[in-house]
Structure 1
Amino acid sequence: MKIVLINPPHTAIGSRVPDDHLPPFGLLAIGGPLIDAGHDVRLVDAEFGPMPLDKVMRDALEGFPDFVLIGHSGSTSAHPTALLIAAMIKQRQPATTIIYGGVFPTYHWRDILGATDVFDFIVRGEGEATVVALVEALEMHQAPASVAGIAFRDDLRRPFATQPAMTIAELDAYRVGWELIDHRRYSYWGGKRAVVMQFSRGCPHLCNYCGQRGFWTRWRHRDPVKFAKEIAWLHREHGVELINLADENPTVSKKAWRAFLDAMIAQNVPVLIVGSTRADDIVRDADILHLYRKAGVIRWLLGMENTDEQTLQLIRKGGSTSSDREAIRLLRKHGILSMATWVAGFEDEGLRDLWRGFRQLIAYDPDQIQALYVTPHRWTPFFRIAKDRKVIQQDARLWDYKHQVMHMTRLKPWMLFICVKLIEVAVQSRPKALARILLHPDPEQRHSMRWYTKMGRRVWFREVWGFLTRDGRVKDGPTLAEFWGAPQDAEEESMTGRRTTAKPALSPATNRGLPDERLAG
């Protein structure tokens, strides 16, 4: 069957400002199993340009595909664009079957299928096994209701979901379709050839605002040695210089993570690794942090979310301000950059709260900061806590963590915006931070900090301009529950149990002529 994968152009500032683009890992992860199942698969990556939607439609329909699959990592804010693309495809070629996947459609399937008929099927949860099973069922003219983990409209045109799919127990059983991209087009970190990968999926912690934990249902990891060999192969065969880990928390198991570090060191390739983890894992690994840097880890994003202990308890973060501060100190000691995320809006903060948060950030002394706004997801427990708060931003394209979406009684939107922008400037331009940017003895660290500062400055001005001229807000909007619907935290876990893979992936040697010992899937 002819299958086209579409990565919609994203409207988020972070996607539009950088000169770098990363490949759509989620679509590649689905593409590999589809290719191995014998299908003709092609990727349309509309992030470049970005590509006008009519061109996306024309490119997707070239060759008259049987199936079009649409998905995006920023699925909530990308949904309006995915909807437009699907509608344009259906208008031009009504017989084309469109399959939609991602975190947002996994949970909002009822609303999506009830509001439009441009999506024929929605894949809920992990897609590697489910998409292959769905395409096979449709190709053999079998009832789609036999496929677990999907949603569609039944004979009476009512939204209907099959039983949840089981999680993939062996992540190495499905390979990534790297052949779908031209690696020369993708870069990060200021021009370094880069890809996105996953060592693990899920997270065992109970942060009640996280929109990813329940989607993956449980934490699993790839074989550490196979994963390191795949990274080394990407470097040697495709010139990949940097790996951006898409894991929520790759360091959950110290044993597995240590095995990966040892395997990367043994591969002896000059590949840099960036990703995110928890501060308490860094403190736990104080005795092996020297291996982090030796294996290529150059920056960790630490999901601190807030600097107030009471707020951390509200969102069930499970960390502490003392471990956050110690993690940053340990990373710096071992030559690894720290990026602290700080999220405004969990509670009804005032100017004193923001001032206290700013002082705490200064005490943390991170190398970089990423200031965000709380963005509640309907399937998380936090949504139930915040369901009666008013929505001030009704454009779903701006639900991207970089825009305030919920009303605060003590601060008007312009007041919160100014405070957040000033905090960003003050933290990034303090003397210690400027000295590191200008004078850091490690040239790689110096390059990365200058690149991030340059990109951050462009984003900062675009955000200010957008706030003043484009980002429409309402004064008396609906409540969260009225805007998105009733809380769905009872459905937070999108999958269930374990899956025993019936059809293991072909060996890399069979797929691409690689050495037998390089096991990517």
Structure 2
Amino acid sequence: MKITLVNPPYPPSVHSHPPFIPLGLGYLAAVAERAGHQVKIIDCQAEKLSYDTFRDRILQTPSDFIGVTATTLLYKSAMQILTIAKEAQPSAITAVGGSHGTFWDENTLREYPAVDLIVRGEGEETLVDLAEKIENHQTLSGVLGITYRDNDKICRTPDRPYIKDLDSIPFPAHHLMPLDNLKHNGKLLIPLVSSRGCVYWCDFCSTVRMFGRGYRMRSAKNVVDEMEFVHQTYGVDQVTFYDDAFSVDRARVLQICKELHNRNLKLIWDCGTRVDMVDRELLKTMKDAGCIAVWMGVESGSEAVLNAMNKSIKLEQTRQAYKTAHDVGLMTIANVVLGFPGETEQTAKQTIRFVQQLNPEDVGFYLATPYPGTPMYEQVVKNGWLRVTDFDKYDTAGPIFETPTMSMEKLAQLRYKAYQQFYLRPGYVLHMMRKGGTYGRSAVKTSGAYLLRALRIRLS
């Protein structure tokens, strides 16, 4: 069977965004190839394909099955891609997967007749099952985890159980991707996922609802096997872990570090985790094994807002985690959410000051965005706060809703000021110049951009 998997382009409204390896498609392609299918990946972001150039490409790519991945931000773009694909190849089965389709499945089928079915949740086993049924002209009713159209009726099969043995999944099919187009500053940075799911249930997070509350892990050996494989095969010397919380299982992280030492594998890497899941020994061991940076969720500098988020952390835990990471020599990146329901101008400013006190090397101030499938989305819709329904705008950079305690205009102003005040602090640029490296150069460049913009504002 000929399977084509597509990473759709960013919507035109989104500012220039660097392409990243579509890891989900890589896993899907790998399991499909292992099952004996012919697979192609079209990465519109990496190849800078417009809708018109994608049309040319798909016309030249005979397919029995065309699948597109979609986050909320990429949803409308994915639908345009599938509409084009259906026009080009009417006999192909068209499908959408990813987080947005999982929680918007019936709506998608009602809104877009070009879409034949939705793959909900993890897609590896579902794709192989689907391919077998389609090849043998069998009914799709027995395929778990899909929502499909049967004439005028929308059918929804039961959820597919999560994959228990993650080691059983082959490494992503990087060989099918345009890797030369995915390099940053001339270097290829390979992402890895060593676990799925999370033990927490933050109200703004759709990922945990996509992959489940149970924390499933690949073995330390399997993780390092992949690190060694991409190093030897593609010559990469840096990888980044996309896990939502890399250090949930402390013992496994220590074992990964031990494996890296035993193999004398000289790779540098970074990861993201929670502030309540690190300690000095763990962070020091990670650094000694090649870790250069950790990004940890600060989310808010207000205990009240943290509680509203159901984040289950305390400010003192955040202070201690960042201090410890700095003490052992790791760079830190703070992830912050502004504008969560209950946020006020006072709590937002409290958060901005708190982040400055933590003094991370870099920061992301993201605006609370109500993604379908999250309790925050349900709360915002129920209270009539939603103001933006165009999913092309769900990029965490612009306000989507407003509450009685925070207007959209004020929230946008606070976000800009948060970045400006962070990057223009006395001594910050000098500190990052001394740090050097990728993060240092990036932070210095960002500081300069904010300085120039601030000067333009003052002079205008």
Scaled by the length of structure 2, what TM-score is found?
0.92
The code of the aligned residue for 1:448 comes to Y
Q: Is the 8 A contact 1:392 1:406 kept in 2?
A: yes
The counterpart of 2:198, out of the listed 193, 196, 203, is: 203
Deviation at 1:13, TM superposition (A): 8.1
Partners of 2:27 and 2:451 in 1: CA distance:
33
Q: State the secondary structure of the residue aligned to 1:376.
A: coil
Say if 2:302 is the partner of 1:302. Answer: no
- Say if 1:182 and 1:314 are closer, same or farther in 2 by CA, change over 3 A: same
- Say if 1:214 and 1:132 are closer, same or farther in 2 by CA, change over 3 A: same
Deviation at 1:83, TM superposition (A): 0.6
Say if 2:315 is the partner of 1:321. Answer: yes
Q: State the secondary structure of the residue aligned to 1:273.
A: strand
Q: Is the 8 A contact 1:348 1:410 kept in 2?
A: yes
The counterpart of 1:407, out of the listed 402, 407, 412, is: 402
The counterpart of 2:439, out of the listed 431, 434, 448, is: 448
The counterpart of 2:348, out of the listed 343, 354, 374, is: 354
Q: State the number of aligned residues.
A: 451
Q: Is the 8 A contact 1:12 1:400 kept in 2?
A: no
Deviation at 1:448, TM superposition (A): 2.0
Q: Is the 8 A contact 1:242 1:272 kept in 2?
A: yes
Q: Is the 8 A contact 2:298 2:336 kept in 1?
A: yes
The code of the aligned residue for 1:414 comes to E
The code of the aligned residue for 1:27 comes to L
The counterpart of 2:127, out of the listed 131, 137, 162, is: 131
Q: Is the 8 A contact 2:401 2:408 kept in 1?
A: no
User: 1:7 corresponds to which residue?
Assistant: 7
Q: Deviations over 1:267-298 (max 9, x none)?
A: 3233222221101112xx32232221122221
| Identity in percent | 24
Partners of 2:260 and 2:12 in 1: CA distance:
33
The code of the aligned residue for 2:158 comes to Q
The code of the aligned residue for 2:445 comes to K
The counterpart of 1:429, out of the listed 413, 420, 424, is: 424
User: 1:99 corresponds to which residue?
Assistant: 95
Q: State the secondary structure of the residue aligned to 1:439.
A: helix
User: 1:342 corresponds to which residue?
Assistant: 336
Partners of 1:22 and 1:276 in 2: CA distance:
17
User: 2:274 corresponds to which residue?
Assistant: 278
Q: Deviations over 1:411-468 (max 9, x none)?
A: 443332222111112112213422321223xx43xx4221244267669999xx9xxx
Q: Is the 8 A contact 1:9 1:46 kept in 2?
A: yes
Q: Deviations over 1:186-216 (max 9, x none)?
A: 234x443112210000100121221111211
User: 2:166 corresponds to which residue?
Assistant: 171
Partners of 1:419 and 1:179 in 2: CA distance:
43
Partners of 1:346 and 1:111 in 2: CA distance:
26
Bigger shift: residues 354-363 or 103-112: 354-363
Q: Is the 8 A contact 1:17 1:459 kept in 2?
A: no
Q: State the secondary structure of the residue aligned to 1:42.
A: strand
The code of the aligned residue for 2:385 comes to K
User: 1:508 corresponds to which residue?
Assistant: none
- Say if 1:459 and 1:92 are closer, same or farther in 2 by CA, change over 3 A: farther
Partners of 1:51 and 1:459 in 2: CA distance:
31
Q: Is the 8 A contact 1:228 1:267 kept in 2?
A: no
Q: Is the 8 A contact 2:361 2:443 kept in 1?
A: no
User: 1:381 corresponds to which residue?
Assistant: 375
Q: Is the 8 A contact 1:421 1:460 kept in 2?
A: no
- Say if 1:266 and 1:185 are closer, same or farther in 2 by CA, change over 3 A: farther
The code of the aligned residue for 1:392 comes to R
- Say if 1:457 and 1:319 are closer, same or farther in 2 by CA, change over 3 A: farther
User: 1:519 corresponds to which residue?
Assistant: none
User: 2:29 corresponds to which residue?
Assistant: 31
Q: Is the 8 A contact 2:228 2:265 kept in 1?
A: yes
- Say if 1:457 and 1:409 are closer, same or farther in 2 by CA, change over 3 A: farther
- Say if 1:459 and 1:431 are closer, same or farther in 2 by CA, change over 3 A: closer
State the 4+ residue runs in structure 1 displaced beyond 4 angstroms. 12-15, 455-462
Partners of 1:461 and 1:51 in 2: CA distance:
32
The code of the aligned residue for 2:250 comes to K
Deviation at 1:181, TM superposition (A): 2.0
Deviation at 1:410, TM superposition (A): 4.5
Partners of 2:419 and 2:368 in 1: CA distance:
16
Q: Is the 8 A contact 1:209 1:315 kept in 2?
A: yes
User: 1:364 corresponds to which residue?
Assistant: 358
Q: Is the 8 A contact 1:342 1:372 kept in 2?
A: yes
Deviation at 1:378, TM superposition (A): 3.0
Q: Is the 8 A contact 2:10 2:45 kept in 1?
A: yes
- Say if 1:461 and 1:260 are closer, same or farther in 2 by CA, change over 3 A: farther
User: 1:16 corresponds to which residue?
Assistant: 16
Q: Deviations over 1:59-85 (max 9, x none)?
A: 12313211111014xx10100001111
Bigger shift: residues 250-259 or 59-68: 59-68
Q: State the secondary structure of the residue aligned to 2:341.
A: coil
User: 1:518 corresponds to which residue?
Assistant: none
Q: Is the 8 A contact 1:187 1:195 kept in 2?
A: no
- Say if 1:433 and 1:270 are closer, same or farther in 2 by CA, change over 3 A: farther
Partners of 2:226 and 2:158 in 1: CA distance:
34
Partners of 2:12 and 2:250 in 1: CA distance:
34
Say if 2:187 is the partner of 1:192. Answer: yes
- Say if 1:459 and 1:172 are closer, same or farther in 2 by CA, change over 3 A: farther
Q: State the secondary structure of the residue aligned to 1:431.
A: coil
Partners of 2:445 and 2:253 in 1: CA distance:
32
Say if 2:285 is the partner of 1:287. Answer: no
Q: Is the 8 A contact 1:24 1:196 kept in 2?
A: no
Bigger shift: residues 292-301 or 251-260: 292-301
Q: How does 1:52-201 map to 2 (within 5 A)?
A: 52-72=50-70, 75-155=71-151, 157-175=152-170, 176-188=172-184, 190-201=185-196
Deviation at 1:351, TM superposition (A): 3.0
Question: Over aligned residues, Cα RMSD in angstroms?
Answer: 2.2
Q: State the secondary structure of the residue aligned to 1:5.
A: strand
Q: Is the 8 A contact 2:30 2:173 kept in 1?
A: yes
Deviation at 1:360, TM superposition (A): 1.6
Say if 2:231 is the partner of 1:245. Answer: no
Deviation at 1:350, TM superposition (A): 3.6
Scaled by the length of structure 1, what TM-score is found?
0.82
Structure 1 unpaired stretches of 5+: 466-521
